[in-house]
Amino acid sequence: MINAQRFTFSRLAIYATLIFAAAIYLVPLVVMLLTSFKSPEDIRTGNLLSWPQVIEGIGWIKAWDSVGGYFWNSVKITVPAVLISTFIGAMNGYVLSMWRFRGSQLFFGLLLFGCFLPFQTVLLPASFTIGKLGLANTTTGLVLVHVVYGLAFTTLFFRNYYVSIPDALVKAARLDGAGFFTIFGRILLPMSIPIVMVCLIWQFTQIWNDFLFGVVFASGDAQPITVALNNLVNTSTGAKEYNVDMAAAMIAGLPTLLVYIFAGKYFLRGLTSGAVKG
């Protein structure tokens, strides 16, 4: 009886701590959401957590008018960059784990350096490259930069996942006459859903939330929403419209929030699926 009471008390203490931590973590989100629906008068007279006297959507309308076009820029940058870097990373991981060649380990080791390079170190060479290709200040140039920078991570994820797959499976397919692309497309890819989800979520978060590449490699109408949000907050004239700023921030952060709400469990499952071997 005493042990059961201790167990119940421990569970309650754990839940209480988690609920408290979650509440503290969610306070900024609640403040942003409430402020986005307030009128300027409510913002001046009320406190941060006060409920709007009158719920207004004008802040969201103005925010979309300011950053809506840049939102679609981020979509045009993020979607192809995520898909391309994930596919190439899958091919790299497949080759480095199943079709090893002379120097493959050295190549993989050198590729891993890309995971530790900060963004700042690639600004000059990337600027030179996309300038020579005629892609400066375009969304296509940003797609190229994000694909190249993300390949080190996606290759690492897929390589570590594929080394956990038994070699006998691939050898049996070779004996049955399956070639390079047949093994990859019909055997490995259907088994790779967990790690594909990891790469998709990882790359989507990194690319959508990027500010540095967006502000350096794009300008004007080609900029992503993170740069547009910074410009909106820091270059507004006249009275400060905090409801517009908060609504714009919510618009910018909503896609990644939805991704983790609906696919977060697959991210954790995929990260641990290849942790046994390799």
Q: Which residue has the higher pLDDT, 212 or 268?
A: 212
What pLDDT digit, counting tens, does each position of 49-98 carry? 788 888 888 889 999 999 999 999 999 999 999 999 999 999 998 888 88
Q: Please state the φ and ψ torsions of residue 177, each to the nearest 5 degrees.
A: 95, 5
CA distance linking residue 217 with residue 138, whole number of Å:
8
Enter the pTM of the model: 0.85
Tens digits of per-residue pLDDT, 214-240?
Answer: 999 888 888 999 999 998 888 766 678
Average confidence (pLDDT) over 143-160 = 91
Please give the full DSSP string across 198-267, using - where no structure is assigned: HHHHHHHHHHHT--HHHHHH--GGG--HHHHHHHHHHH--SS--HHHHHHHHHHHHHHHHHHHHHHHHHH
pLDDT in tens, 115-148: 888 888 888 888 899 989 988 889 999 999 999 9
